[in-house]
C-alpha cells in the first residue's frame, strides 16, 4: 500500500479530507473536526524531560518509539508533534524527526521546507512589517510613535538581532519564536486565527494607546496567507504509525507545543494521543499545562518523563569528554535534576512514569543503578530502546503507559496559578515553584512593561534558558537560592500571552562555531547525504 492508503486504512479519515503534498506528506481538511465533533476524545499522553544537555534526551525519539510500541500491542495511538525550524536544523540542535528506527518520514523534508507552513508564517509576518512602515511613510494617520512589531526569518542569524532600515530601528526574531507562530499553534479554526491576528498589537501612538492590526485593516490579507498553513500535516513513522506534525513554537522563547487543531484531530482519531512539549518540564510542560490546556479544553492524562544516563551524568558534574566512563556517583548526583522535574509534575497532581531512553553503548551497571533508585523511591520506570529496536524496544514502556491509563485515578488537576493575578505575582509563582528561585528581579525596562501591560490577564510564557532550572545555563542539576532576573517583558496580544525575557535570552539565535549546516551534502543525482 502507498502512504495514503495506509493512512486511510488506519484512521477514520475519508479520502477528500487528505490533501497530498507529494507522495508521503499530507494536510488534513479542518472539516474532519466537524464530522467527528461528537466522538469521544482519546487519552492524552504528554512527553517531557529533564533539562536538556549536549548528550541529548530524545523526547521525540521516545515519543515515536512509544507510539510504535503501542502499535506493537495493538493499541490505536497517534502522535502530535511540533514542526521543526530550519534554524536549529542547520545550527547546534539538528533535526527534530526522531532517530534510528524511531523516526517520522520523510525526515529530511520535514526538517527543511516540509509543506511550507513556516515560509507562509514568515511571509505573513513580514508583510505586516512592510505595511506598518508603508503606513508611516504615507503620513502616519494612526500617529504611531513606537513600533513593537519586529521582522522574522527562519534562519539563525545573530547579526539581525538589531537592524536599522530607512524607516528606523528594527529587529528580527526567528519565525518559530514569532507571535504569528504562537497564534497558529493556539488557534481553534480559521475564524479564531483571523480574530487573533486582528488583535496583534503592533505599537503605541502618541497618547500611549495600543495600535492593533485591526486598526491597519489587513487581518484578512494576513489570514489569507495562512489559510493552508492552519491545516495540520500528517505523515507516518518508520513503522507506519500516524503522526501529526504541525506548528513549532520554540519552548525556551515561545510556548513549545504543537497546534491545538492537530491535537484535536488526533484526540478524535486515536484512542491514545502522544504529544511532546519542548525542552524540560520547567519550560515545555509548564507551558503546555498553563497555556495550551485551557485552550484545548483537555488535560494530560499521563506524563512521560524522559531521561538518559549520559544527561544525568552531565547534571552530576561529569565533563563531556568523560561521558563514556562509568560514574554511578555522578549519575545519582544528577538525579537531583530529575527529582525536581518530578516534583513539578506532582505539583499539578498528575500521574507520571519515567522512560529511560537507552543509548547503544550505555553501561549496564549505571542502568541498574537508576532502576534501583527509581524502585527505592516509588517511581515507575521502563526502558525505551526505540533507537535500536523501534517499537519492539518500547513494548514494556507501552504496556506500563496503558496500565497507568486504564487504572482508576481520582486525581483532580491542580492549576499552578490564577490567570487573573497580577503579572509579577504569576512570574514569581513560576520562578519559585517550578524553577526553585529565591527571588525575581526586574530591569527598568521590564518594570515599565509591567505597568504598561498590567491590565492584560494572560498566561505567562517565560523565555528562559532550557539548559538549567535557573536563568544561568552553566548551573546544572538542581540549583537553589538563585535570583531570576527579568530583563524585558513582551506582549503577544493575539496569542494572549505575557512573555518575560530572562537575562541573556535571545529571540534570534546565532549559529555555533561548527554548525550542522556543514554536515549536509548533495550529490549530482540530487540525493542528500
Q: What is the DSSP string of 160-173?
A: GSSEEETTEEE-EE
Q: Cell numbers 551534502 correspond to what residue?
A: 521
User: Is 275 annotated as contributing to ligand binding?
Assistant: no
Q: Is the dihedral of CA 478, 481, 485, 491 positive or negative?
A: positive
Nearest-angstrom CA–CA distance, 179 and 121 = 10
Is 194 exposed, middle or buried, given 0-12, 13-18 or 19+ CB atoms closer than 10 A?
Answer: buried
User: Is 241 annotated as contributing to ligand binding?
Assistant: no
Nearest-angstrom CA–CA distance, 508 and 86 = 13
User: Is 22 annotated as contributing to ligand binding?
Assistant: no
Could you give the C-alpha distances from 400 to 81, 188, 233, 394, 407, in angstroms and in order? 22, 32, 29, 10, 11
Q: What is the DSSP string of 131-162?
A: HHHHHHHTT-TT-EEEE---EEESS--GGGSS
User: Is 58 annotated as contributing to ligand binding?
Assistant: yes
Region class of 513: left (phi > 0), else alpha (psi between -120 and 50), else beta: alpha
Nearest-angstrom CA–CA distance, 508 and 158 = 6
User: Is 54 annotated as contributing to ligand binding?
Assistant: yes
Nearest-angstrom CA–CA distance, 306 and 244 = 21
Q: Is the dihedral of CA 434, 440, 445, 451 positive or negative?
A: positive
Peptide bond into 341 cis (omega under 30): no
User: Is 65 annotated as contributing to ligand binding?
Assistant: no
**Residue 11 · residue 21 · CB < 8 Å:** no
Question: What are the residues whose beta carbons fall under 8 Å from the beta carbon of 34, sequence distance 6 or more?
Answer: none
List the grid coordinates of 49: 524531560
User: Is 270 annotated as contributing to ligand binding?
Assistant: no
Nearest-angstrom CA–CA distance, 5 and 10 = 9
Query: How would you classify the pairing of strands 98-99 and 102-105?
Result: antiparallel
User: Is 57 annotated as contributing to ligand binding?
Assistant: yes
Beta-bridge partner residues of 204: 146, 210
Q: Cell numbers 543503578 correspond to what residue?
A: 369
- The annotated binding site for ATP is made up of 53-60
- Binding-site members are 53-60
Amino acid at each position: 500500500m502507498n502512504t495514503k492508503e495506509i493512512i486511510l486504512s488506519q484512521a477514520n479519515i475519508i479520502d477528500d479530507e487528505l490533501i497530498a503534498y507529494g507522495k508521503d506528506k499530507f494536510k488534513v481538511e479542518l472539516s474532519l473536526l466537524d464530522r467527528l465533533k461528537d466522538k469521544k476524545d482519546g487519552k492524552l499522553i504528554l512527553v517531557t524531560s529533564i533539562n536538556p544537555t549536549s548528550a541529548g534526551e530524545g523526547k521525540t525519539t521516545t515519543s515515536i518509539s512509544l507510539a510504535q510500541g503501542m502499535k506493537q500491542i495493538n493499541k490505536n495511538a497517534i502522535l502530535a508533534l511540533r514542526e521543526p525550524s530550519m534554524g536549529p536544523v542547520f545550527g547546534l540542535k539538528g533535526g527534530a524527526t526522531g532517530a534510528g528506527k524511531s523516526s517520522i518520514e520523510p525526515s529530511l523534508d520535514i526538517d527543511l521546507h516540509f509543506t511550507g507552513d513556516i515560509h507562509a508564517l514568515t511571509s505573513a509576518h513580514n508583510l505586516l512589517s512592510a505595511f506598518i512602515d508603508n503606513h508611516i511613510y504615507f503620513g502616519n494617520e494612526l500617529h504611531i510613535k513606537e513600533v513593537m512589531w519586529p521582522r522574522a526569518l527562519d534562519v539563525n542569524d545573530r547579526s539581525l538581532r538589531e537592524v536599522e532600515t530607512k524607516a528606523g530601528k528594527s529587529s528580527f526574531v526567528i519565525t518559530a519564536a514569532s507571535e504569528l507562530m504562537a497564534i497558529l499553534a493556539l488557534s481553534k479554526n480559521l475564524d479564531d486565527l483571523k480574530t487573533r491576528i486582528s488583535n496583534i498589537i503592533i505599537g503605541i501612538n502618541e497618547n500611549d494607546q495600543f495600535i492593533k492590526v485591526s486598526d491597519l485593516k489587513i487581518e484578512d490579507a494576513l489570514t489569507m496567507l495562512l489559510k493552508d498553513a492552519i491545516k495540520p500535516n500528517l505523515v507516518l513513522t518508520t513503522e507506519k504509525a500516524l503522526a501529526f506534525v504541525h506548528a513549532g513554537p520554540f519552548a525556551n522563547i515561545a510556548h513549545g507545543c504543537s497546534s491545538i487543531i492537530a491535537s484535536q484531530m488526533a484526540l478524535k482519531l486515536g484512542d491514545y494521543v502522544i504529544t511532546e512539549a519542548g525542552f524540560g518540564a520547567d519550560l515545555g510542560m509548564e507551558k503546555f499545562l498553563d497555556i495550551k490546556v485551557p485552550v484545548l479544553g483537555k488535560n494530560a492524562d499521563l506524563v512521560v518523563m524522559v531521561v538518559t544516563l549520559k544527561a544525568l551524568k552531565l547534571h552530576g558534574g561529569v565533563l563531556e569528554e568523560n561521558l563514556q566512563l562509568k560514574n554511578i556517583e555522578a549519575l545519582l548526583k544528577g538525579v537531583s535534576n530529575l527529582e525536581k522535574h518530578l516534583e513539578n509534575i506532582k505539583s499539578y497532581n498528575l500521574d507520571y512514569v519515567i522512560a529511560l531512553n537507552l543509548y547503544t553503548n550505555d553501561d549496564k551497571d549505571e542502568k541498574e543503578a537508576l532502576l534501583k533508585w527509581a524502585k527505592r523511591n516509588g517511581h515507575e520506570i521502563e526502558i525505551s530502546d526505540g533507537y535500536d529496536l523501534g517499537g519492539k524496544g518500547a513494548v514494556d514502556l507501552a504496556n506500563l503507559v496503558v496500565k497507568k491509563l486504564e487504572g482508576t485515578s481520582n486525581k483532580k488537576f491542580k492549576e499552578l496559578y490564577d490567570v487573573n493575578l497580577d503579572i509579577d505575582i504569576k512570574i514569581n509563582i513560576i520562578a519559585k515553584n517550578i524553577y526553585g528561585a529565591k527571588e525575581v528581579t526586574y530591569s527598568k525596562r521590564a518594570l515599565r512593561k509591567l505597568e504598561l501591560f498590567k491590565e492584560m490577564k494572560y498566561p505567562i510564557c517565560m523565555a528562559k534558558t532550557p539548559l538549567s532550572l535557573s536563568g544561568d545555563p552553566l548551573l546544572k542539576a538542581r540549583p537553589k537560592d538563585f535570583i531570576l532576573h527579568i530583563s524585558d517583558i513582551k506582549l503577544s496580544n493575539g496569542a494572549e500571552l505575557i512573555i518575560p525575557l530572562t537575562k541573556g535570552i535571545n529571540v534570534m539565535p546565532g549559529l555555533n562555531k561548527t554548525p550542522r549546516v556543514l554536515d549536509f551534502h548533495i550529490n549530482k543525482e540530487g540525493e542528500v547525504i
